[in-house]
């Protein structure tokens, strides 16, 4: 398995025809962080998602930043994990989370999203996720148990999070900033009044997270909640 992982980390940078290639980093057993890129101010800026492998197949948390890099992710799963993608969960409507949805549809991979996300994507004439998530929804797939939660507005009105209690992996998406973040980033659709309340709720509820994956930049642990609040206090 160690050999496969080592090869897997090198292969993605050789896939695709554009200059933007995904990276794939093992997080803990059966969990991988996929990172795709978009040019912002002439610099590639990273966007994180998650892949979870189970006996029955892989679960994809967020697509890459567009269809082409999403193809790279799906190819990596096929070649390295050697399993199908059972479904994807999209954590909000921005294209760094759902920009590859058309590629999912092309491959008949079901996608889940909150009703707010579905409504927003419809209003923007974007491809729409196939399945509706409740505001709090528990999943079980083989030995994997996880929760999808809408904790309240923040980075966007529709942002959701995903919690894997057995592995203590918390996927915060763009709602939670990296411990290394220097700014809040894109706040065009943010609710700056409710965002701090939402983060405090998450901080109380998931302080035992071992791995906290933000939507962008480096991940860490629960200190990401505190860093997000620090950045919000400046707005």
Catalytically active residues are 92, 94, 96, 155, 186
- Burial class of 42 by CB neighbour count within 10 A (0 to 12, 13 to 18, 19+): exposed
Alpha carbon 154 to its chain's center:
15
E strand or H helix that includes residue 161:
strand 161-164
Contact yes or no for 54/29 (Cβ under 8 A): no
106, two tokens: 């092309």
What's the N-to-C CA distance of the chain in angstroms?
A: 46
How far apart (Å, rounded) are the C-alpha atoms in residues 212 and 171? 6
> For residue 212, what are the CA distances in angstroms to 135, 176, 188?
20, 9, 24
């Amino acid at each position: 398995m160690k050999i496969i992982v080592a090869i897997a980390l090198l292969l993605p940078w050789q896939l695709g025809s554009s200059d933007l290639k995904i990276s794939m980093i093992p997080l803990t057993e059966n969990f991988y962080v996929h990172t795709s890129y978009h040019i912002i101010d002439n610099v590639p800026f990273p966007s994180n998602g998650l892949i979870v492998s189970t006996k029955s197949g892989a679960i994809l948390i967020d697509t890459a930043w567009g269809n082409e890099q999403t193809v790279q992710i799906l190819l990596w799963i096929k070649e390295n994990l050697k399993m199908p993608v059972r479904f994807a969960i999209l954590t909000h409507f921005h294209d760094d989370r759902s920009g590859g949805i058309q590629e999912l549809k092309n491959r008949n991979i079901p996608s889940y999203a909150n009703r707010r996300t579905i409504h927003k994507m419809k209003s923007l004439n974007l491809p729409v996720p196939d399945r509706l998530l409740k505001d709090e929804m528990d999943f079980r797939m083989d030995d994997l148990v996880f929760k999808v939660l809408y904790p309240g507005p923040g980075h966007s009105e529709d942002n959701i999070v995903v919690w894997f209690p057995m592995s203590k992996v918390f996927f915060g998406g763009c709602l939670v900033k990296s411990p290394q973040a220097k700014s809040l980033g894109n706040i065009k659709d943010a609710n700056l009044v409710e965002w701090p309340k939402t983060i405090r709720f998450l901080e109380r509820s998931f302080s035992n997270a071992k791995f906290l994956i933000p939507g962008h930049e480096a991940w860490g642990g629960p200190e990401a909640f505190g860093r997000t609040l620090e950045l919000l206090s400046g707005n």
